[in-house]
Structure 1
């Protein structure tokens, strides 16, 4: 396995929130990082600058995670700019919330397209292109255990992500590539705060024994662990939620 100074990571959804924190953390570990974005190029540039300040190298690349041609082009950027790819961190996802009885089916389909098809597309490309000694890190959610009302469509999509993760880990037998999923608890990102009252935020924050929301940096520590030293952790879902479940 190459040293961190020679390693290359692709972080999807790297333009903000958990993705940005993960990219910056990997930069601090000496990775060269491809910062993927879906729509916010300016924020992707900000993340790339943060990676550089942390000590890594960075470029940005845009594309719809559910579009196989667009994402193949993103993977091409990693190979063209940095010579290969060792770690894929797939944080990109969407989280519209509504009770199951009330959710518009077009919204449900959009969640599944981005979160399930998007993970399948990224994992398929990663399985073909990540070098030996590398890692594929998907993102699930602790809501698959917490069963919070209104999260039905999102939790369903992430249950599928967990299934893909565990099966891909076994399909890559003999390749020396780990495949795991990080399942954050409620984390203080714009995606989490959207549409929630302060009362709801406080109630959710109190669900874990630490009595606070997670931070993107908390989640980034788990990413760095799975991307680097955790070579004997494979085919697992790592719950990073302060003990909420």
Structure 2
């Protein structure tokens, strides 16, 4: 039975989400602001945190950054009323595993949580491709022992390509596996994140390259 922490400052919404997720079979705790949520996550492990972005004191994005810096073992699903591409990128760059825009159906929230949990469970062991070593459990990439400073989404993108080393992976597949939804996100976000990863791999001295496959998507070349 997954443990879920709901961090939401609106009392009615907090109770609604908690009751709905409890009915779905989750063990649910709640927090009314970002600091309370962070303290709860530091106190004991949760499987998923459903975190509102617009929280008093400490925003959901700030909370997520603390979670990643401290390597707290929880998947984070950010919830917000802002649906611009830049807002999504900003949230995902903070280390969030998914991003859900209000208003949403409670069934969609449950589906997103299930998808996040599936990705977490299937993270598996270490992956070595070319001169890059990926450790999904710590969400860490290294080149000759040096850490490549990837965000969670950048790591997930590289891992998805590494698991299919030598194969072309289309943008729709990358959106589905990395962002959890091929319909709500524009394929351009894949191109943007590939650019981020390429720059970080180059700066780390990696031989591993991400090739563009025209008309399809991207492929990892082990070099």
Relative contact order higher in (CA < 8 Å, ≥ 6 apart)? 1
The structure where helix makes up a greater share of residues is 1
* TM-score (normalizing by structure 2): 0.44
The structure where strand makes up a greater share of residues is 2
